[in-house]
């Protein structure tokens, strides 16, 4: 998903270069806005799902940590380590999804600004 986000950012960045954006007709800007909003919705959905999964892993990790402190068994330690091994990549992936989606918002603002004649 992150590669798809990067590919779409590269695509939309190329389409919203100042010279290309100013040369677009209103219909082309509206079509680009629709495509951008659709992709933003997809990435927001993906971001929300990953937030739920990441939060679940974090809560389970805390529960296992408490159990590890209480029981002090090797199996609890192994379970805690396995959860951390899964939790950190989820945090990193969510971070990239969040920042990429926020970046898409700036492209939307850029298109809308160009559509209504704002100069940035």
Question: Given this model, what pLDDT does residue 33 score?
Answer: 95
Q: Is the pLDDT of residue 44 over 90?
A: yes
Q: Which band of pLDDT confidence, cut at 50, 70 and 90, is reported for residue 1?
A: confident
Identify whether the C-beta of residue 14 lies closer than 8 Å to the C-beta of residue 72.
Answer: no
Global pTM reads 0.84
Question: Given this model, what pLDDT does residue 116 score?
Answer: 63
SS3 content of the chain, % helix, strand, coil (to 5): 90, 0, 10
Angstrom distance (rounded) from CA 102 to CA 95: 11
Q: Which band of pLDDT confidence, cut at 50, 70 and 90, is reported for residue 118?
A: low
Span 77-117, pLDDT tens digits: 999 999 999 999 999 999 999 999 999 999 999 998 866 65
Angstrom distance (rounded) from CA 95 to CA 104: 14
Residue for token digits 């100042």?
18
Question: Given this model, what pLDDT does residue 85 score?
Answer: 95
Q: 102: closest CA among 24, 43, 61, 56?
A: 43
Q: How is the chain split into domains, by residue range?
A: 51-114
Angstrom distance (rounded) from CA 67 to CA 42: 38
Q: Is the pLDDT of residue 120 over 90?
A: no
Q: Is the pLDDT of residue 71 over 80?
A: yes
Q: Which token pair is 46?
A: 């993906």
Mean pLDDT of 10-27: 92
Q: 53: closest CA among 91, 79, 80?
A: 91
Q: Which token pair is 58?
A: 């974090």
């Amino acid at each position: 998903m992150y590669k798809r986000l990067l590919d779409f950012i590269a695509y939309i960045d190329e389409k919203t270069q100042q010279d290309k954006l100013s040369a677009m007709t209103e219909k082309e800007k509206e079509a680009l806005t629709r495509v951008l909003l659709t992709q933003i919705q997809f990435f927001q959905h993906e971001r929300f799902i990953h937030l739920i999964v990441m939060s679940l892993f974090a809560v389970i990790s805390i529960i296992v940590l408490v159990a590890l402190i209480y029981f002090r068994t090797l199996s609890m330690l192994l379970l805690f380590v396995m959860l951390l091994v899964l939790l950190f990549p989820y945090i990193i992936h969510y971070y990239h999804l969040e920042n990429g989606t926020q970046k898409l918002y700036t492209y939307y603002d850029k298109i809308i600004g160009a559509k209504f004649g704002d100069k940035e």
